Amino acid sequence: MAKKDNDWKSRLGMVYSTNPDYVYEEESTETETLPKQQQKLRVRIEKNHRGGKVVTIVSGFVGSDDHLRELGRFLKTKCGVGGSQKDGELLVQGDFKEKVVQLLKSYGYTQTK
C-alpha cells in the first residue's frame, strides 16, 4: 500500500473496519448555492463580546464557502473595511448596515432586510 493511500489524518472520525475489501469514500458535504433572488439575507449590527467594537453581520446565506467568501470580498471592498466569515455569517467591521443592505440589493439579493 502506498504511503498516500494510508494517510490516517484524512480519515479522522471514520470507524475502523476489519473487512479487507472495504474502501473508504468521503462524503460530499458541499451545499448547493441558491440563486441570488432566493437568498433571504438578514443584516444586523452587533457589538456584544467584541471589545466595544461594532460589527455588521450578514446571516442567512445558503451555499458554498467559496460563494460566501466572494460575497464577503465584494462587501468589504465596497465598504473599504476589513472583516471575515465565521459559521456561515459574514462579519464586516464597522456600522455599515444601510450601506450593506443597499449593496446587496444592487448585487441581486432582492430579499435582503
Q: Residue 100: CB partners within 8 Å, gap ≥ 6?
A: 43, 56, 58, 75, 79, 92
Per-residue DSSP letters for 54-103? -EEEEE---S-HHHHHHHHHHHHHHHT--EEEETTEEEEESS-HHHHHHH
pLDDT value of residue 51: 86
Q: Is residue 37 part of a domain?
A: yes
CB distance 90 to 68 below 8 Å: yes
Residue-wise pLDDT tens digits, 96-111: 999 999 999 998 898 8
| Set of cell numbers at residue 9 | 489524518
Q: Is residue 79 part of a domain?
A: yes
pLDDT greater than 90 at residue 7? no
10 falls in which pLDDT band (50, 70, 90)? low
Q: Is residue 15 part of a domain?
A: no
Q: Count the alpha carbons within 13 Å of 99 in the hemisphere toward its beta carbon.
A: 14
- Looking up residue 51, the CATH number of its domain turns out to be 3.30.780.10
CB distance 45 to 95 below 8 Å: yes
Q: Which residue has the cell 448555492?
A: 33
Q: Is residue 28 part of a domain?
A: no
Per 3-state DSSP, what percentage of the chain is helix, strand, and coil (rounded to 5)?
A: 30, 15, 50
Per the structure, the count of domains in the chain is: 1
Q: Domain range spanning residue 43?
A: 33-113
